[in-house]
Structure 1
């Protein structure tokens, strides 16, 4: 079997599930306890009639079963009374997002298109993409924080999709639960290094700092030592430059910071990353210098996509070095990953190497990121789902039809 044949087979590895019929009545799904913070678990259990004096203990038990041991049914919770398990099963589920398609790249990268539970009468179930990248000694899960994206970065495929809505914290955590389910990554007592998913990056669909409350709560669940148990230093949040929220991200999450930079001049960054018009480069760099917890041991990652003839000259490499002065930083140089309809091209390899060498000689780590999952459109900047926001007229038409 050729590489192309294998890629085609993997691209069709899972069937697309049929959407709910327009004429089919909508029934609100039972709420899931999977992905909830301990505080939300306690509130849900209280609504279900659990006595207040038991709430903390019961929330701890359920948190451990769901987020540490991967329980998908209440019946598996052997240290919870049968009566309580039955009561919970009547009111809640432990459902994760639904896998619509699973694609596996020739390099082992996996991409899941996930359907989220319908959030209302005319919500047909939004979809997001999540990517798992296996590497030597580690495995990185790239999660989405929004359906679509608030921003319109011109080189990014996700930016061509309409912003639909923010994800909840549970929907963000649900992406990790799905990954562990599919990878068989629930070994009891496994350490971070013993897991297949060892790192989380908020670099999927959406701008995380425009959904910071949910991102913060999701990180709380992911970093819970008695639950999912990934250390905060293994969690990285990437922003295109939402400067007003950066300090809060550092103070409230302790996560690693990545900046989607891609240009060293305001006029160019205004085109590539339009949020630059609100928060220009000088303002962004000052926020990086004062980011809580930034140090040589906790460097800020600057992502720089290499675009042929656009931002890849030696002069721009030297300007990048000047901009980074005073910031504990490393630079990820990202070969541009093409997508249908784009006018951009990837820089030549010799140009990328020359750019990297200039940055490296100035004392900064500047690895060139190896493209992963290109054959299944899972590489950086390629994610996109077909979910669309319903316009008011469309909602009215659906109501009239029903």
Structure 2
């Protein structure tokens, strides 16, 4: 049988995995600077967690989740996003009682959505996400947005566009919700079946519809900014002021609606404009979700976060022809000639590796010339030439690949010699 990879997934081969490792290390370093701690949650959770946390009117819950019953008859779902799992852990582990508040967490891991695979959109994809829970200070909103912008900028991306909006507090959203129902209801039959269902449950989601985005009622729909109460207005003004103070350029877009039900107040997206993406494309999205912790069984706890796709980031780097500064190659490659030299190579390689050196050698009986070519392909800084004659004299010949210079070094001193050349 000819086995093939499942549709919407990918093999990340060694050449690409080095880029992933570099990006993941950038994430760890950046989050450490912002004092965010890593959290790792299960790949699958109870289905009800996502139905309640993400929202039963979202496309994710209605159409895209990988859900199955385990052998005990429990309904489980491969996580489609990271916030609900992180909030569940926050509640279950009583992080709201920790001395240091807000609790600032980040995660990097695979998510799963049954979508139509296309460029930058996979059925298994990797998200980097940040969550800060326990503070309603708009300065935390600015911090989270600043972290996401720093991440892209430090990787060298340009032509970034930050868009912000406010979805308002509960009172503001209710007033806006009623205005949306009044606006769309007389002609809702002209919209898709999904929008017709959303009218009463969550009319804000109609504004996020891709199928009906050209309908004339979309352009004239009531703006959330016209329904913000004083508290929500003041909050949004402070977020904008903090971003300006941080020299972070942004645009206010009153039509920005995040695709998940739990957002309120601050919402934002980071987009990139470039040839290869076509239209302006979203790289990152996030916002405030006051109320989500309570929905999942915890105490009243404000929160804010974002998530971004590593796959879409890699696409952006490729489009902008940005090469990551990845260190490649070996410290040394061992070339052996003769049976005795071959016999001692495992011990020699192991000793060099134990000193922290990246080394390799031949394991398939190549001739000397083929071994030298392998050393060149592996980008070895030095080639260690060991024959039976050198072994008898307890020496080894070292060739620097960049210059071609050669010299003999005592075999017992070879590790220290290579280290001294760094």
Compute the TM-score of the two structures, normalised by the length of structure 1. 0.24
User: Considering only CA atoms, is the larger Rg found in Structure 1 or Structure 2?
Assistant: 2
**Higher normalized strand content (fraction of residues):** 2
